[in-house]
Chain A
Amino acid sequence: MIHFVLLISRQGKVRLTKWYSPYSQKERSKVIRELGRIILTRAPKLCNFVEWRGYKVVYRRYASLYFCACIDPDDNELEILEIIHHYVEILDRYFGSVCELDLIFNFHKAYYILDEILIAGELQESSKKNVARLVAAQDALVETAKEQTGSTSNMIAQATK
């Protein structure tokens, strides 16, 4: 299973984290520091796998972002690479040629999309179309809710003026 997914920029800034195994906040920060050091220093055109604390970390760089996933030693590295690519393609489709800035300002969206792809560290949806449909449906649901709350807060704002 996947123990966690990290998105780290080339400058070492964290752009997304998702933990499928229980780690305390302290451990999380430590993991990110360690892996950032290991992965960001690797030259291009090397293999996409690193061993780390008895686990394997599969990473792949897209533009300035490193997508990393930590897996058990007997998991299939190539499969994980495909999952990462799958995620990137869906992000790309959702944001329309995704860039790092999209993820910075839509952190939660990236999070929800990942939740449609992985659950409990396992792939749950391999169809891009389905993921896009589910995410769109959720967005619509939230939009309508937002409009309602938006109007009420407007009302309050009016009233207090």
Chain B
Amino acid sequence: MAGGSSSSSSSFSTAPAPSLVDSLFQRSLDDLIKALRSQPAGAEPSLLSRAVAEIRREIRSPDPDTKAVALQKLTYLSSLHGLDASWAAFHALELLPSPSPLHKRLAYVAASLSFHPSTTDVLPLSTHQLRKDLSPSSPPPFSSLALHLLSLSASPDLALHLAPDLLPLLSPRSSPSSPLRPKAAAAALRTLSVCPDVAPLLFKPLVDCLSSPDLRVVSAAVGAFAELASSGDPTPYLPLAPEFYRVLAESGSNWILIKLLKIFTRLAPLEPRLAARLVDPLCDLLRRSSAQSLVFECVRTVFSGLPDHDRAVRLAVDKVREFLASADDPNLRYLGLRALSMLGPRHSWAVEESREAVIRSLADPDPNIRREALHLIMVMVFDSNVVEISVLLVNYAMKSDPIFANELLDAVLTTCRRNVYELIVDFDWYVSLLGEMARNPHCTRGEEIERQIVDIGLRVRDARPELVRVARGLLIDPALLGNPFLCRILSAAAWVSGEYVEFSRNPLELVEALLQPRTSLLPPLVRAVYIQAVFKVLAFCFSTYIDQLEISQLSSLGNSTTGGASSIVESNTAAAASCIADGIAGMESTDGIATVGPLSENDEVEVHGRARNLLGLIHMLREILTWKTEEQGFIKDNRIGEIVNLLQSMFSEELGPVSVNAQNRVPVPEGLVLEENLADLAWTLTEDDTAPSMSISFSLRSHQHGKTKDAAASSVRSASLLAEHRKRHGLYYLPTEKDETESNDYPRANDPLLPASQGDVPEDLVKLTKQSLIPRKVKHTKPRPVVIKLDEGDGVSTFPSTTVKESKDDLLSGAIHDALLGEGKPSSSQKRYSDKSSRGRVKDIADTGESVSQSKENLESGNREHRSSGSKSKHRGHGKERHRSPQKNEEKEEKNHRNSARSSHHHERHKHRPRGEALLNVAPRAPVIQHFLL
């Protein structure tokens, strides 16, 4: 047969119908499985492709047996070997009407696998067959198959068409113990969630299911409501609360109780009286039930639905403690931690009570439990315990495995960074903690630490001396240079020590550290930062040296030009300064040139350029030092003054954080036409290029200064435009009175202080100080330093609020709300509707082709939505669709009208639309929710 496959595949396109021989010698699924199993490891792909070619041929056979076996094989390959089966959707469809239960079953399985609600274009063709199989006259197994397919691949259109056919199956009149009613309830749920328009039709029968004597029906209905209530706005289900409550009291099945509790979890926060009524049964279940799944659901309901009822919370917390203490069941420990994190910071006492178990869970063998524990602990971080917890975690990260160590570091970094370091009071402590993290051998979070070191340097002036100290510690350690994850941190450290060199105790040592031989291990960009830092340090040393000489020699000129030179250096004696100078001399002659020299030939342009700069500086300094020996009064030398000025002006401008919107605040100077073609400005280049390089920065600076002044005076028009813009988009501007500098008054934290003595480092994990997980007041020892904070969007919020679900006011809830309110009087309109629909149905059947084209149209619009939604959140995609569909329905309606002008079958075309519209328009009455309750 394998030999025949090539010849027949060539005839595949011309003569699709396989011969009788083909169907006689068709490979069965068993044959295929055996062939796959006996195949050597590498040959699977070729075998699979051969099998698919075979299936493609066989599936076109007019013989239903051959087709069925082909479909069966395809089902197998598709679901276990990941082969695409969507192309076979039509063939599955062809087999659906088969009277043989064997074929029908295979066809339905294949269809459920190959149909996709939004991408299968033959889906509307199945409407008729599904309707036939759903009808009460067809055998129950057939209806069951149809219900399965409907629940898996219902598109909004299919749902709308087939919803009326679910009614007979949902009604209690169908035989009392029929297995179809629960299935119909589940299918109704899916129909409702893809097509909210059918709510008025299906909702009432679904509610009736709640009072069925058959537990399976009740279970299915409760499950459906649990799903509906948790996927959207639960408010419309509030009127059903008495009904749910009754089931809660009567039902003994844990399956049902769990689903019911899920509904109550959503309803209880909406209605305090319901919550009060729930306390007793919940406490009862908590005490009595031996099923852990039910107990856990009770705990969850209490924690997220009734957090104000102390009695229930107390009992639930006790249960959680039991969970946490169960040594042999990791599932319960995991769920216990999860439950505690549901309680939130308000009930931090509960976490405090199980503090020991929670902290111990950090060392659990299961990474998921450790992660949960970490998550829980991080929720409990306040400004009073942030030091303690961070130190604990960072120390523990030293001992734990690499993956978890980084998770710990991550947790600490993100928590402390939150909202521009709002938890941090003592930045000296935090900066040294960052240094410690960098020394963790597993640390791979270099980028984040780098970001924070630079960020704190820019934002927190008071933390700079400590930053420089920590940076020094990192830089002088040759062991750190080999670790590729740390180079980012080292880069930040080098930048900090260059930028804030005035806080350094020993700049010379810094230069040595920055030029140590092992720096060759660093990536070029980091080396460039290193060399730039050396440049800054040298420039600083030089100007300090000159200053010191000035001070010592001309004490009358105490007012030195370098006002910024820090107290540390000023307190040093002139001897120290000359020591620095000697150092420079020594460095340049030996180390410096030895290390930097080769770099100037480096391939990397950044390194190369900066090394050149540095060498230039050293050569210049060397010259100056020789001047000194020749002539004592060199300070008055103009050239030296000029050089000092130049060096200072290079680095005296302090870098600060820049608001994202800073650009908006720069007025556009008059005469600057932003749209003008730049090519016209080419002539300016030739002039500027000739300018001498030395003075360019000075001249540019003064030039610009004058220009902006000019521009500011004359640009009234643009300023008024700007003012208008500011008025409209005020949100994005900084408050005008606020300056971007230090004067920015950051709101002080409530407890700005932290006693340094409290930082006892707990050696053992469990040795947290008492009550460390609940917020408390701390004593003041020193004020929190100013943290420059620019605008609201500045701090990256790490805990985005997850209220999307709640705020979603989707159409389904609305439709159900309407259905519920209309429920009081059994509406005659509904009966009329079902009559009408059954009449309309006949016509639909008559013209299937029409329904295809029409739903293709809908599919297209559906497709667009689906493509935009992410692959993993298919539901949310549905939700969106639901959310938007009111307007869309209208649009479609319009479209249909337009089409109807062109199309001759227009009456058919929107037969079903007015149906949905009319149903949707059930007039909302005044809310009657309240008196239903209790």
Contact = CB atoms under 8 A, between A and B. Distances in A.
Interface of A: 1, 13-25, 27-29, 32, 43, 45-51, 53-54, 72, 74-79, 81-82, 104-105, 107-108, 111-112, 115, 119-120, 122-127, 130, 134, 137-138, 141-142, 145-146, 148-149, 153, 156-157, 160
A49 B368 contact: yes
Contact of A43 (B24, B75, B100, B365): B365
Contact of B141 (A47, A74, A137): A137
Contact of A77 (B223, B253, B331, B366): B331
A79 B84 CA distance: 33
Contacts of B300: 74, 76
Given A24-B119, A76-B258, A122 B102 contact: no
Given A76-B258, A78-B331, A119 B118 contact: no
Contact of B24 (A23, A76, A123, A156): A156
Contacts of A29: 82
A29 B85 CA distance: 13
B934 to A, nearest CB: 26
B220 A122 contact: yes
A16 B79 contact: yes
B369 A47 contact: yes
Contacts of A50: 368
B410 to A, nearest CB: 16
B911 to A, nearest CB: 27
A11 B265 CA distance: 41
Nearest to A48: B331
B331 A108 contact: no
Given A22-B118, A43-B365, A108 B109 contact: yes
A22 B148 contact: no
A45 B219 CA distance: 32
Nearest to A43: B365
B335 A160 contact: no
A153 B84 contact: no
Nearest to A157: B24
B82 A124 contact: no
B33 A72 contact: no
B76 interface: yes
Given A123-B223, A124-B220, A153-B65, A138 B141 contact: yes
B162 to A, nearest CB: 14
Q: Main secondary structure on chain B at its contact with chain A?
A: helix
Nearest to A141: B101
B187 interface: yes
A149 B103 CA distance: 10
Interface residues of B, number: 75
A53 B80 contact: no
A24 B115 CA distance: 9
A46 B366 contact: yes
B179 A122 contact: no
Nearest to B179: A134
Name the residue among A46, A47, A105 with the largest chain B CB count within 10 angstroms.
A47
Interface string B113-124: 100111100000
Contact of A15 (B78, B80, B105, B179): B80
A78 B368 contact: no
Interface stretch (B755-763, B867-875, B918-926): B867-875
Contact of B187 (A13, A72, A108, A119): A119
Contact of B255 (A105, A123, A148): A123
Interface of B: 20, 24, 29-30, 33, 37, 65, 72, 75-76, 78-86, 100-103, 105-106, 109, 113, 116-119, 141, 147-148, 151-153, 179, 182-183, 186-187, 189-190, 216, 219-220, 223-224, 227, 230, 253, 255, 258, 262, 265, 292-293, 296-297, 300, 330-331, 333-335, 365-369, 871-872, 874-875
B227 to A, nearest CB: 6
B186 A47 contact: no
A33 B267 CA distance: 38
6 contacts: A24-B116, A75-B262, A108-B72, A120-B151, A138-B141, A156-B20
A22 B116 contact: yes
Contacts of B82: 14, 25, 28-29, 32
Contact of B186 (A17, A78, A104, A120): A120
Contacts of B292: 78
Contacts of A46: 330, 365-369
A3 B179 CA distance: 23
A103 to B, nearest CB: 10
Contact of A124 (B20, B182, B875): B182
A54 B331 CA distance: 19
B619 to A, nearest CB: 59
B148 A119 contact: yes
A153 B78 CA distance: 27
A28 B148 CA distance: 19
B610 to A, nearest CB: 44
Contacts of B103: 145
Nearest to A58: B331
Name the residue among B101, B141, B265, B333 with the largest chain A CB count within 10 angstroms.
B101
A142 B33 contact: no
A64 to B, nearest CB: 15
Contacts of B227: 1, 122
A122 B189 contact: yes
A142 B335 CA distance: 44
B65 A149 contact: yes
Contacts of A74: 230, 262, 265, 300
Nearest to B66: A153
Given A25-B82, A51-B368, A160-B24, A122 B223 contact: yes
Contacts of B366: 46-47
Given A74-B262, A119-B148, A160-B24, 8 more contacts: A17-B80, A49-B368, A79-B258, A107-B80, A120-B187, A120-B190, A122-B224, A156-B24
Contacts of A19: 113, 152
Contacts of A53: 872
Contacts of A122: 186, 189, 220, 223-224, 227
